[in-house]
Every structure is written in C-alpha cells, then in structure tokens.
Amino acid sequence: MKSEKKTFRQRLADKKIRRQLTKSGPRRSEFLRLLLNMLNRYVTVLFIALILYILLLFIMVHYESAAPGANILTIGDAVWYSLTTFTTVGYGDLAPITTVGRLIGSVFLIVSIGLLGFFVGFMVEFIARIRPIIALSLNAGRPWYIFTGVSPYATIFAENLKNVRSDAFIIYADTLKEDKTSKDVHVSWSVKELLDRRGSMYDAHIICMKENEMENFLDSVSLADTAVPIICLASFCPAHHPMNINFFSLTDCSARVFWQQFPIKKEKETIVLIGFGNAGTVMLDRALELNVISKDQRIVYHVFGDGREYCRNRKLLSEMVSVNTEAAQGDSVIFHGTDWNEDEELLCHADRIILCSDSEWDNILILHTIQKFFAIRGELYIYNSNVHGVATSFGQAREMLTPAFVLHNRLSDMALCRHEFFRFGSGFELPLWEDLGSLTKDMNFVAVDHISTKVRIALGNEAPSVPFDELPADVLRKAAAVFNEAAEDRKENFRELEHERMLRCYRLHNYHCSDVHSDDLRTTPLLKPYSELSEKERKLSDIGWALLDELAAHKEAREHHG
C-alpha cells in the first residue's frame, strides 16, 4: 500500500516536532540570567547610592583629618566606620568629632536601617524567584504535568496522579501567588515559557483543568501548536481538533462508568431519571448506547424533566425506541411533563431511581423527600454527592478525576485498535484514526465501554460489575471463548446485538444510510437492518468480541512487564 504524500504544511509540522524533540536539556545558565535581570532593575539606584557614598566618605575624611584629636584620618578609616555603622555593630574604635563628620555619621545611621531592609528584601525576592528555577532544573528528568491554573479540580487530579505515578512533577503555570502549603511548584511563567525552559517536550503534559470549561477549551486550542499531549476538561468537543488534545467531561465519564458499575441485569427493567440537565441528558444517551443486552429486552426509561430539546436534537430517536408510549417489545423513553413526585406508583415500583440533576443540593433535597414520604422498592442512586448508606453515590469529582479516567490511555488504545480492525476488514477504505471526526472516535469509545456488557451477555451473573478496564484477563478470555466456541446460530444472535448497539450510536447522532461514510454529512452504509447486511458486513461485528482477547493480551503483557 502506497504511503500518502504529505503536504508542505505537514512536512513543516514534522520538522517542528523533530526540532523540539532534539532540543538540548534545560538551560544551566538560568540562575545567572535571573540574577542579572534582577540586578538590572536596581543598577541605577545602586550606582547613584555608590557615588553618594564615596562622596560622603571623602567629605568626612577632609573635615575629620584637619581636626585635632580626630581618629578618622584616611579613606580606609572612613570605610571601616561606615561599615560598622551600616551593620549596627558599632565597635566604638572610630568616631567623628567634627560637626560635618557627625552629620555624615547621622546620615549613615539613618540610611543603615533602609539599606539593611533593601538587601533583605532583595535576597528574599531573589530566593523566591530562584527556588522554582532550581526545582525545575533538579526535576528536569521527571515527567512534567503543567496545569494552566489552580482550581479544586486541578488539585484533586494532581493528588490522584501522584498516588499512581510517584515521579510526577506537578507545576502550576500563570500563578501569581505561591501556595506555601503545597509541595508542588507554582510559577508566574506561562505554559510555553515552562516548556521552553524544559528544553524538550518529551514526557511533558499540559492539563487544562480550571473551573471554567470555556477557559479550558480556549487554553487547549491556543497551546495545540506545542505538540505536547493536552488534557482539557470540557463538556463539549469540536468535530475536528488537533490530535494532541484529549477532551474530558466529568458528566460523560460519570455516565459511562455508571452503566458499567451498575449494569442492567434483567431483560425487563423500569428506570426513573429525575433531573434532566446536562448530566441527565448524558446519562440517557449512554444508557441507550450501552444497555443492549438481549433481543427480548424491554427497558423503560421514565425521564422527569423537559425532554423537548432532547427530542428536537435527536431526530431519529423514535426509530430506535418508543417515545412517550410504553412499547410491548423493545425499549421505551417516556418524558414526564409533571413533577417527579406526582406518580407515587411509578416511584414505588421502579427498579432503580437515578437522581441526576446538575445541582448536588437539588439531588440531596429530592433524596430527603423520597426517604420521608415514599416507600421505594428499587435501588437509589445519586449523582455528584458524598451521601453514603442511604443511596449509592456516583460521579464525584474525586472518583472521576483519576489518571485511569482522565488520561484513559487504555480506552484510547482499544478504540484505536477497534478502528484498525475495521479498516482492515473493510479493505482499508475507512480513513486513518487521526483523520476521523470526534463523533466516529466517540462511537469507538462507546464500543470499548460495551466490553463490560459483552462479558455480562456471555457470562451472565458470573461477570463482575466493573468498568471494562478493571476486568481481569482470565474473565475476558472466558467471555471471548463463549463467543468463539458458540454455535453459528448463537453467534448470529451476538452479531445482531452488536449491530443494534452500533445502530443506536448512529441514530442518536442523526446518521442516515448511504453508500459513503461521512461524519460531516451524517451518512454511513451500516445504517440498515441486520437482515440486509452482507455476510462480510455481518462478520465485522465480530470485531467487538475480538476486542476481549485483545484487551486480555494488553493486561497480560502489562502484568508480565510490571
């Protein structure tokens, strides 16, 4: 296969990356450079003070040497007297006796206080400025995690990161005031200045994790040309963005993990979602994409919240589930325009109730009301709260802001692996991973998340309820063997379920059937009933099951080398 010819711009980008990778190490003259910069700020003041000092010394010697009984006769005597005065030692061996000499001595006494403060302030400032430079130089060989600012999210992730990777060197850029309680380095330099001081982008990382997600987005885009891996905490992701930016959403990650930790275990289940803001919307999206377990399933999602915007954006929702009417077969989504506490029978008989308002306080108030007035039969879950015992909490920042979820290297590796399998199976007609839009990449991520569901489909109640990355290698091998050794009719059932899961992803994003796959046009040739697929297209669904063995191999290799 011929390699694609690179454009002039791509070649320039490659040269820039190679140049950055081959840069020398951190600059060793940084100490002297800072000292000279600071001295330049004071050089005029120091020069004038020195001239006046010498002039006063000569005047003192002129008048003192002419007076009978004087002991300050030379410049050396005057210098010694001034030094003992400036330092407030005052040995008393030399002292002026003339009026002019005593006036100059008084000037020395008064100036000595300010001069001492000047030098103390200078040294304090110098030490404060040189300390981070020394720290950066001493830790040049460690992996740098450069945060674009200080925030509660950044602090939580930094602590979780150090628990996993003890050699991580945490730096907060653009920080005016140093946090003296923190062991991490706070500097006023920008991220690009820090990377320039490091001298190499190898094993450097940029973390955009301020509280304002728009600021994170703008920071990540402005820093994309550094070619350093960037983690951006933002709930939105552009259709096309530089490959070195990895967008991370707390709500999306919480929803993904929730349906893997607390999976659907029955073919018929009634689920109530209370609160339908950003978190509730993502919870329902991920539920529809991941909860595909059987051809006979009948899961009903009751949503208390305004679902009009949700339905207006998802034009094909009614093609995948029954909307606002409970179906006799298949899944249903029913949006309730009434208050959540009006339908007592639904609350009391639901299999699970998920409190997923964006506001933690609202969720706690609803939980309190449910406890006080309703007899609940099913499980209670509460989003973004540390309530324990009464309901199962999920989605807390401290639980989500970990290297496993934020960096999600394993998720990215497996998603890339799945796409390469598909490219091979389609005769390399699909674009390269780096040329994919965000939607197609996200669909690959959902397919990897569905590994936990596949294990449950294959092993039933023997499957552990954990995220896909925490599944043991032997469990993955066992589930993969169930598919590989299954009779052909059962394999067809597995393939049809995988195809249905894939259709849901496409329909949620308004894709239409076409001979050409295009994220921009929202078209794909796979959006057709399973019965209309060719044998080759049907067997592409086997890739989803092949990922189980692939993930097991990754885990075994890591354990072997670890």
Residues 290 and 392 in one domain: yes
Distance of alpha carbon 409 from alpha carbon 250, whole angstroms: 16
Establish if 197 belongs to a structural domain. yes
Asked whether 64 and 72 are in contact (CB, 8 A), the reply is yes
List, in sequence order, every beta strand (DSSP E) within 50-168.
144-147
Asked whether 208 and 148 are in contact (CB, 8 A), the reply is yes
Q: Which burial class, exposed, middle or buried, applies to 500 when counting CB atoms under 10 A from its CB (0-12, 13-18, 19+)?
A: middle
- Where among 400, 416, 445 does a domain terminate? 400
Q: What are the average pLDDT values for consecutive 10-residue runs of the chain, which has 562 residues?
A: 49 52 45 61 74 86 84 86 76 82 82 70 69 81 93 94 92 76 82 85 91 94 92 88 89 94 94 95 96 95 95 94 94 95 94 95 94 93 85 92 86 89 79 83 91 94 91 95 94 94 93 85 86 87 92 85 60
Please give the helix or strand (H or E) that residue 172 lies within, else none: strand 169-172
Q: How many CB atoms lie within 10 A of CB 374?
A: 13
Residues 332 and 373 in one domain: yes
Q: Which two tokens stand for residue 492?
A: 């067809």
Establish if 393 belongs to a structural domain. yes
Establish if 549 belongs to a structural domain. yes
Establish if 8 belongs to a structural domain. no
DSSP bridge pairs for 204: 144
**Confidence (pLDDT) at 1:** 40
**Confidence (pLDDT) at 409:** 78
- Where among 135, 170, 187 does a domain terminate? 135
- Where among 135, 167, 198 does a domain terminate? 135
Residues 439 and 509 in one domain: yes
Establish if 15 belongs to a structural domain. no
Distance of alpha carbon 220 from alpha carbon 223, whole angstroms: 5
The pairing of beta strand 268-274 with beta strand 298-304: parallel
CATH number at residue 162: 3.40.50.720
Distance of alpha carbon 233 from alpha carbon 34, whole angstroms: 34
Q: Where do we find the tokens 């300010």?
A: 114
Establish if 363 belongs to a structural domain. yes
Packing angle between helix 250-261 and helix 278-290, nearest 10 degrees? 40
* pTM exceeding the 0.85 threshold for the entire prediction: no
Establish if 11 belongs to a structural domain. no
Distance of alpha carbon 512 from alpha carbon 528, whole angstroms: 9
Residues 173 and 305 in one domain: no
Q: How many helices (H) and strands (E) in the chain? A: 22, 15
Residues 187 and 323 in one domain: no
- Using H for helix, E for strand and C for coil, what is the string for 404-422? HHHCCHHHHHHHHHHHHHH
User: What SS3 state is found at 402?
Assistant: coil
Asked whether 297 and 268 are in contact (CB, 8 A), the reply is yes
Helix segments in 328-382, DSSP class H: 344-349, 360-373
Residues 379 and 492 in one domain: no
Distance of alpha carbon 391 from alpha carbon 388, whole angstroms: 6
* Structural domain harbouring 519: 408-561
- What does the DSSP 8-state code read for residue 184? S
Contacts of 396 (CB under 8 A, 6+ apart): 384, 385, 386
- What does the DSSP 8-state code read for residue 109? H
**Confidence (pLDDT) at 28:** 44
Establish if 375 belongs to a structural domain. yes
Count the domains in the chain: 4
CATH number at residue 336: 3.40.50
Longest dimension (CA), the chain: 123
